Copies of this chain bind each other. A is one copy, B any other.
Amino acid sequence: MKPIQVGLLGIGTVGSGTFKVLQRNQEEIKRRAGRGIEITMVADLDLARARAAVGEGVQVVNDARAVIANPDIDIVIELIGGYGIARQLVLEAIAAGKHVVTANKALLAVHGTEIFAAAHAKGVMVAFEAAVAGGIPIIKALREGLTANSIQWIAGIINGTTNFILSEMRDKGLDFATVLKEAQRLGYAEADPTFDIEGVDAAHKVTLMSAIAFGIPVQFDKAHVEGITKLAAQDIKYAEQLGYRIKLLGVTKRKAQGIELRVHPSLVPAKRLLANVEGAMNAVVVNGDAVGTTLYYGKGAGSEPTASAVIADLVDITRLHTADAAHRVPHLAFHPDAMSDLQVLPMSEVVTSYYLRMRVADEAGVLAQVTGLLATAGISIDAVLQREADEVGGEGSTQTDLIILTHDTREGTLDDALARLQALPTVLAPIVRIRKEELS
């Protein structure tokens, strides 16, 4: 059978990894796919870079539309990134009847509804394993491996840059700014790290997982997004003393009232495997009603790990494109006419537990005042850690840190209570609030 011909749009880190792995393992991949899979055409604005990456024998052009227009191309890989031209080209490739493979989480989290509808109408596949957690086959696990389940929740470390930074902050007791610089020097963080450190990248990914898990449309605009830039080294230390580690989690949960969809730093019990995922590694925990808790771990980024996912999609399409379109694996796991209308909940309706750190006056009655106020609000306390004033503020200090872990509370309720706590004259600085996930 003649090889599947693939056109590649954008040959940067992931693109050149894809070309390299496909070539290195071509014999083994062919034995799995039943047909050869060959990148025969590459489009990149930087022709010299493209030529250097693929050598001779591959057509290199600077016009992506020439790839899409080529009738011999069966599958188009989009590795340009961003919402702009990438969206246009993906839609054009679909219109031309090409199957599409993309690693573009931003594009799909924002424009997925439009893109999947176009692909469905045209009867082609848009595969995106590489868009979430690099080489870990988490899209496949959610969409195919766990189809028996009513999925209850997902919590994942899905951004390697921030996990590297948090691991370093904990290991070395350093503050965020110092570690970020180190991460940039080592290549773990980009020159402009905003999308990573502000949680946007993780929010794109959890938006995709949420849609697949619960059968809802992608709704990035409804996600609560909070990064790690305000995290203080002392909270990592206090969390540790209480038996927790702080991770940037993408969380999505099914509740009776709707879907929680949020990215923020979270305390995780130190004994959980997820808490022990260190450095730039990724891991996703999925809880289903039948299977219980499962976890998927691996490299979430990088040239060859991401290429692993891109190529798995190429093999999937090669294996499955002959299935009639009504039967194939749906893009978002659920058939488009059977999506759920469960709404994404506003953050005030989210129910979770909390870590609170308060700088308080070191005087009698403060603890009773604070806990009394929380009790009145109906917020139940799981643990209290009160430091000696001398330890916190030095010899003779009149201030101390009061750390409280709450049980599950509606965020709106907590917000109100925090406003009242903040107004107490004995509370001397802005209260720090970090969410906590027990993952049990």
Contacts of A295 in B (CB 8 A): 283, 295-298
Complex alpha-carbon distance, A294 and B312, angstroms: 15
Residues on B with beta carbons closer than 8 Å to the beta carbon of A310: 148
Copies in the complex: 2
Residues on B with beta carbons closer than 8 Å to the beta carbon of A305 = 290-292
Please give 11 more A-B residue pairs, beta carbons under 8 A apart, in addition to A24-B150, A135-B146, A320-B320: A31-B335, A135-B290, A136-B291, A136-B294, A144-B319, A148-B307, A292-B298, A292-B305, A295-B295, A297-B297, A320-B329
A277 smallest CB distance to B (angstroms): 8
- Contacts A21-B290, A31-B335; A147 near B315 (Cβ below 8 A): yes
- Cβ of A297: which chain B residues have Cβ within 8 Å of it? 273, 294-297
Q: Are A291 and B273 in contact (CB under 8 A)?
A: no
Q: Would you give the shortest CB distance from A146 to chain B, in whole angstroms? A: 7
Residues of B within 8 A of A148 (CB): 21-22, 25, 29, 307-312, 315
Is A327 an interface residue when CB atoms closer than 8 A count as contact? yes
0 or 1 for each of A318-333: is its CB under 8 Å from B? (1 = yes): 1111111011111001
Among A32, A141, A320: residue with most chain B CB under 10 A: A32
Which listed residue, B292, B299, B338, touches A299 by the CB 8 Å rule?
B292
A258 within 8 A of B: no
List of B residues within 8 angstroms of A1 by Cβ: 326
Provide the residues of chain B in CB contact with A290, threshold 8 Å. 17, 21, 25, 135, 304-305, 307-308, 311
The verdict on A34 contacting B299 (CB below 8 Å), with A141-B140, A273-B273, A308-B149 known, is: no
A293 within 8 A of B: yes
Partner of A291, one of B146, B299, B321, B330: B299
> In the complex, which residues of chain B have a beta carbon less than 8 angstroms from the beta carbon of A24?
150, 289
Q: Which of B144, B322, B324, B330 is within 8 Å of A312, CB to CB?
A: B144
Asked if B335 and A32 make an inter-chain contact with CB atoms under 8 angstroms apart, the answer reads: yes
Contact of A33 among B32, B141, B147, B316 (CB under 8 A): B147
A296 x B299 contact (CB < 8 A): no
A146-B137, A338-B30 given as contacts; is B327 within 8 A of A322 (CB)? Answer: yes
A215 at the interface (CB under 8 A from B): yes
Given the contacts A21-B290, A273-B276, A321 and B312 also touching, CB distance less than 8 Å:
no
Whether A334 sits at the interface, judged by CB under 8 Å, is yes
Given contacts A32-B147, A329-B319, contact A298 B289 (CB under 8 A): no
Distance in angstroms between the alpha carbons of A299 and B319 in the assembled complex: 29
Shortest Cβ gap from A15 to chain B (Å): 14
Docked CA distance A52–B31 (Å): 47
Q: How far apart are the CA atoms of A296 and B289 in the complex, in Å?
A: 18
Q: How far is the CB of A11 from chain B (nearest CB, A)?
A: 17
Give the contacts of A326-354 with B (CB-CB under 8 A). 326-330, 333-335, 338-339
Bound-complex Cα distance A316 to B316 (A): 13
User: Would B289 and A294 count as touching, CB distance under 8 A?
Assistant: no
B141, B144, B276, B298: the one contacting A316 at CB < 8 Å is: B144
The reply to whether the CB of A55 lies closer than 8 angstroms to some CB of chain B is no
